[in-house]
C-alpha cells in the first residue's frame, strides 16, 4: 500500500518571559521535532509580537509558522507535544489543500514570465503612442 503524504501548516506562539535564549530553544525544539518526522517546506519566524489579548497574563509571544509534508498521524502527535510543553502558549495545525501547496511552490517560477510579459508590453504601448506623433510632424 502506498504511503499517504499530506501538506500541513503549523503556527505556535512561544512564551517570551524566559528570555530570548529560552524562546529560541523552544522554537528549535519544535522545528527539530518536525524535521525528524516530516519534510519541512518553509519556516517563517514572525518574531516577537503583541498578542490581541493577554494569554496567561502575558501580552507578548514569539510566533513561528512551519509548512511541512508528513503522514497523517504526525500532526496529532505534534499537537499532543504542544499541549505538554508549558513554553508553548498557543498552537494550531491545519491541513493544506493540494492546490494551495502547489500554488505556493510554483509561485516564484510563475512570477518571472509575468514580469517579462509586462516589460515587453510596456515598450509596445509607448511605440504606439509615439508613432502617430512622428507622422503628424512629418506632414
Would you state the pLDDT for residue 1?
66
Look at phi and psi of residue 38 and say left if phi exceeds 0, alpha if psi is from -120 to 50, else beta: beta
Would you state the pLDDT for residue 126?
45
Q: Is the domain of 69 the same as that of 113?
A: no
pLDDT at residue 117 above 50? no
* φ and ψ at residue 132, rounded to 5 degrees: -65, -35
What percentage of the chain carries pLDDT values higher than 90?
60
Query: Which residue's C-alpha cell is 530570548?
Result: 20
25 in any annotated domain: yes
Q: Are 61 and 12 in contact (CB under 8 A)?
A: no
45 is in which domain, residue-wise? 6-96
Would you state the pLDDT for residue 97?
86
26 in any annotated domain: yes
Interstrand relation of 6-15 and 39-55 (parallel, antiparallel or unpaired): unpaired
42 in any annotated domain: yes
127 in any annotated domain: yes
pTM of the predicted protein model: 0.67
d(CA 137, CA 133): 7
Q: Report how far apart, in Å, the C-alpha atoms of 100 and of each of 10, 103, 109 are.
A: 15, 5, 15
103 in any annotated domain: no
pLDDT at residue 128 above 90? no
pLDDT at residue 75 above 60? yes
What's the burial of 116, exposed, middle or buried (CB within 10 Å: 0-12/13-18/19+)?
exposed
How far does Cα 35 stand from its chain's mean position? Answer: 16
Rounded mean pLDDT, 109-123: 47
Amino acid at each position: 500500500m502506498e504511503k499517504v503524504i499530506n501538506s500541513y501548516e503549523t503556527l505556535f506562539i512561544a512564551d517570551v518571559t524566559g528570555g530570548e535564549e529560552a524562546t529560541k530553544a523552544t522554537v528549535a525544539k519544535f522545528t527539530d521535532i518536525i524535521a525528524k518526522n516530516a519534510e519541512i517546506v518553509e519556516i517563517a519566524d514572525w518574531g516577537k509580537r503583541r498578542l490581541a489579548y493577554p494569554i496567561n497574563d502575558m501580552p507578548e509571544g514569539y510566533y513561528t509558522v512551519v509548512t511541512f509534508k508528513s503522514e497523517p498521524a504526525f500532526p496529532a502527535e505534534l499537537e499532543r507535544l504542544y499541549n505538554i510543553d508549558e513554553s508553548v502558549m498557543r498552537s494550531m495545525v491545519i491541513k493544506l489543500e493540494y492546490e494551495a501547496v502547489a500554488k505556493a511552490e510554483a509561485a516564484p517560477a510563475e512570477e518571472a514570465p509575468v514580469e517579462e510579459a509586462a516589460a515587453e508590453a510596456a515598450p509596445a504601448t509607448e511605440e504606439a503612442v509615439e508613432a502617430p506623433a512622428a507622422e503628424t510632424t512629418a506632414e
